[in-house]
Amino acid sequence: MNEPRRALISVYDKAGVVELAAGLVELGWELIASAGSARLIAAAGLPVADAADYTGSPPMLGHRVVTLHPRIHGGILADRDDPAHRADLEANGIDPIDLVVVNLYPFGASPGIETIDIGGPTMVRAAAKNHAHVAVVVDPADYRPVLHELRSEADLAASTRLRLARKAFAHSAAYEAAIADWFDARDESGVRGRELSDEPAPDADDGSGLHSGGVPVGAGSDAGDESVGAGLPPVIRLDLERAEVLRYGENPHQQGARYRVRGTAGFFDGVVQRGGPVPSYLNLMDAAAAWRLAHDLGDRPAAVIVKHANPCGAAFADDLSTAYSRAFDCDPRSAFGGVVAVNTVIDEATAAAMAAAAQADVVIAPGYASGVIERLAARRANTRLLEVPRAGSGGVGWGLALRTLDSPGDFLVQSRRGHQADPADWQVVTARQPTPAERADSVFAWRVCAHTSSNAVVLARDGTAWGIGAGQQNRVEAGRIAAAKAAGRAAGGACASDGFYPFADGIAAAAEAGAAVVVQPGGSVNDAEVIAAADEHNIAMLFTGERQFRH
């Protein structure tokens, strides 16, 4: 390019900014910087123009106005493809600015009127808006890749500018949310709920700052307020960052991830995994529920087993081994594949009891005695062994788990279904083929079941769900509830199960209810036994290949 390119730098977090400035100068860029950044860059021996000198307007109003100037914002906002914009630049002696490097003061660290930045967010938003022509960088982690691309490609790709613009608006939104939360915590008489300072932050560098702290929810009304909705904020603002990619979402065909409030450490950030595969969405949801209950039972050794978000066993005793055994004996059938939480270190006796019992998907404990992890891992390779160093942690800062959804129009990212989701691709695994009417009943029952809380079993015939068993810790009991509600009206129709049948007893229950066809995901290690049971009862069976748990 014939005309030199220009970068405007105004940062609170100065990590790496000198290296970035040096790289830009090496590439022939001109630098403009606000006061603090300009001093740092100049001290490194690099040519830089102070923003006040560049605009010809000295700082005023106690530095409230420095970069709010047409020469700055005209250079950032100009559409280079618009002849009228180019004419305005030429008529007013304004040079285009091609790169804006700004990050904002962490308002949450010292909130107050004088730390509300105006110039910084204005530059960030202006550059992000005009990302077709201007790149904006708000994160020091992007300095190196931006320099690399400029060196290798001589310019930044449109996709890079778009990515940086999205990040900039998220940065600005988090900053504005922190300010709004500060106002939420105040009332007409002053400060409410916590002490907030109106003192200016040190060396705010022209009001540029990085919102790196967490964003609390709006304060709302005090809990003691007698008005309607007391204690519930009218607005909740969340700035979340992805902390962990999970094995899958609620079901294997969905994606899942754990998020935390930006800049904070949630409960699961302190959890150490000692064995087993990566947790899934449901593993974390059930682990949180189990942990909360285990620590709500008091100081005596306690054990809790959770299945499908509900306890299926809970006990305390004088020793943990006894507490676990009692909790397991509450409902051994449901304990299979559940989540175990205890409130004290797992000793050898408890580990022996766990190893002899049904496999748990997750064990979460404040610690493990010597040799226990190895014993449990050897016996239960698929059990996730989680350790929580902060024993007794309550339900504050749990974070948020998200998973992709299936229905068009849902507010989360839609999952791309696998080919097995199409009923035409369902696999007949029994000797008897379903009739067309039975297939139709199967599709209907499956759709109802997919919208029913797990464990779920649905008995349907002729477009009517006659029996729905929902929210049970095991599907045999879900089937019994469905059969009792159906009272024979679904005989000759379909039985749908949202998860695979792990044992043949579920098929026997479906046959007893009069089902002519069973539709289920399949995929159990006992599929052969389950199929044989269906053949024995002359029931047709369809495998969908897709689980549909719903919590």
Q: Evaluate whether 105 touches 117 at the Cβ level (below 8 Å).
A: yes
Encoded tokens for 154 = 């001589």
| 122 vs 168: CA distance, rounded Å | 11
Tokens representing residue 259 in the block: 């998020």
The helix/strand/coil state of 19 is helix
Q: Which residues contact residue 228 at a Cβ distance below 8 angstroms, ignoring those fewer than 6 apart?
A: none
Which stretch of DSSP H or E encloses residue 520? Answer: strand 517-520
Q: Under a CB-based contact definition with an 8 Å cutoff, are residues 540 and 517 in contact?
A: yes
| End-to-end CA gap in the chain | 58
- Reported as type and span, the H/E element at residue 305 is strand 302-307
Beta-carbon contacts of 82 under 8 Å, excluding residues fewer than 6 positions away, are none
In 331-455, where does DSSP find H-type helix?
332-335, 348-356, 372-379, 436-450
DSSP per residue, 218-229: P--S-TT--STT
Measured CA to CA, the distance from residue 283 to residue 361 in angstroms comes to 7
283 alpha carbon, distance to own chain's centre: 14
Asked if residue 496 lies in contact with residue 502, where contact means CB atoms within 8 angstroms, the answer is no
| Element at 461 (helix H, strand E) | strand 457-461
- Chain position carrying tokens 């290690």: 525
Which amino acid belongs to residue 431? A
Tell me the torsion sign for CA atoms 193, 199, 204, 207. positive
Which candidate in 129, 133, 485, 551 is catalytic? 129
DSSP output for 252-281: TTS-EEEEEETT---GGGG-EEEESS---H
Look up 129 and say whether it is catalytic.
yes
Q: Which two tokens stand for residue 340?
A: 């175990």
- On the CB side of 13, CA atoms within 13 Å amount to 19
Could you give the CA distance from residue 139 to residue 154 in angstroms, rounded to a whole number?
Answer: 21
What Cα–Cα distance (Å) separates residue 455 from each residue in 133, 171, 253, 487? 54, 41, 18, 20
Number of H helices, E strands in the chain: 17, 22
Measured CA to CA, the distance from residue 324 to residue 269 in angstroms comes to 26
Q: Which of 131, 167, 308, 537 is catalytic?
A: 308
**133 a catalytic residue:** no
Do the beta carbons of residue 59 and residue 66 sit within 8 Å? yes
Contact 319, 349 (CB under 8 A): yes
Residues 6+ apart with CB under 8 A from 464: 489
Taking the C-alpha atoms of 466, 471, 475 and 481 in order, what is their torsion angle to the nearest 10 degrees?
A: -40
Active site residues: 129, 308
